[in-house]
Amino acid sequence: MQYHNMPEQKKSDLQKILDNLNERNKELSCIYKVDELLRQFSIPFKVLLEELTNILPEGYRYSDICKVKISYGEFEFNTEGFKITDLMQSQEIRMEGKTVGNIYVCYIKPLRMEKGVFLPEETRLLSTIAQKLSDHFIYRKLRETIESYEENQVKLTHNALSDRLISWLQSFHLSNDEIEKFTKAQLQFKKGEIICKQGAITSYIMILADGLSKNYLEGVQDKGFNFSIVKAFDFIGLSSLYNTNTYLFSGSAITPCTIYHIEKEAFKSIIKQNTSFAEEIMNWYCKMTKGHLERMSCLANKQALGRIADILLYLSDRIFYGGMIENIISRKDIAELAGMSTESAVRILSELNRDKIIHIVNKGIEITDEKLLRKLSMVG
């Protein structure tokens, strides 16, 4: 049956259904826009509340004469032409059981309605939006608290790092002015990033202030020799200080690292002027050279089992200072330190685990029989 042939009663009923659907569509559209707005947690309160006062009237039957006012704490915003009238509904904004604001919706022109000015659905709409706004404020406050806490933690960590770094540099008999020169340029490296590249021109000596890195010689076909793990606090690149302008090895971050760059010429100048520092640097360099020679002796004179035992003890004694070698050191790292394939290293580690000399756990590798491991290292 076509619309123009319908009885008047049916036309009236159909029109009511269409009107109701249109109103529900307006309310849904309003809710969608409010949701989209409230997902933006970084916009200023002023912009948020101004936008909300403009969106709200769109959900009401008579949008053209509907005006809105929102108050929240010290903030108060309303649509142009807003005024309190008898045709008004309001809803509190509550947080943690307290009223923190209000939303007012008014019609600014008279209306004659048989069943009330505001529809029940419009009342629910206002209540829902007030709740969503409350949730937004609570979540926003929580985000701000977390961000403030994280910023404070970063500051505390940075201050603690600075204090420890300064104390370490002072142990090298550096003056405050010299320490300032050493700590002017700070860089952050993510896990896996290259810190220095073998063969690249070098203008800096580096200090690893935080994190763990590795130094390795690059070979052909992705084969290399990992000759040392570097921990905080340590120098990187001293072998390039004299007689060469390129890095003799590559370095990469095993964990996120904080690195300080010191210009080579500034480093040389301080060595010339500060004899106590020069002596400390020579002591440090001799200890590093001794360690590298011990590693080379291990590779030249020990079988695979002895090399793995030696590496596990090296990591335990000099890097982690305890019986647990954390899993930030990969099987590939251990293999490269021992100068063998990853497959061979994994097989030997499995045998040591089976013989209960070590215990492979989620956290890493736990040394359970240190005496026997040291015998295996010595026998080779």
pLDDT digits (tens, 9 = 90+) for 46-66: 888 889 999 999 999 888 999
Q: 104: alpha, beta or left, given left = phi > 0 and alpha = psi -120 to 50?
A: beta
Query: Quick one: average pLDDT of 251-277?
Result: 93
Residue % of the chain over a pLDDT of 90: 41
Which range (81-95, 157-171, 201-215) has the least confidence?
157-171
pLDDT at 223: 64
For residue 104, the SS3 value is: strand
pLDDT at 102: 93
Question: What are the domain boundaries of the chain?
Answer: 3-138
118 cis-preceded (ω within 30 degrees of 0): no
Query: Quick one: average pLDDT of 253-260?
Result: 93
Q: What is the architecture, at CATH level 2, of domain 3-138? A: 2-Layer Sandwich (3.30)
User: Given pLDDT bands bounded at 50, 70 and 90, which one contains residue 356?
Assistant: very high
Of all helices (H) and strands (E), which one includes residue 208? Answer: strand 204-210
Asked if 315 and 229 count as a contact pair (C-beta separation under 8 A), the reply is yes
| Residue 148, both tokens | 């403030």
Q: Mean pLDDT across the chain, nearest whole number?
A: 86
User: Given pLDDT bands bounded at 50, 70 and 90, which one contains residue 1?
Assistant: very low
Which range (102-106, 273-277, 299-303) has the least confidence?
299-303
Is residue 69 over pLDDT 90? yes
pLDDT at 195: 93
Asked if 72 and 93 count as a contact pair (C-beta separation under 8 A), the reply is yes
User: Given pLDDT bands bounded at 50, 70 and 90, which one contains residue 310?
Assistant: very high
Query: Count of CB atoms within 10 A of residue 232's CB?
Result: 18
Is residue 150 over pLDDT 80? no
Is residue 13 over pLDDT 70? no
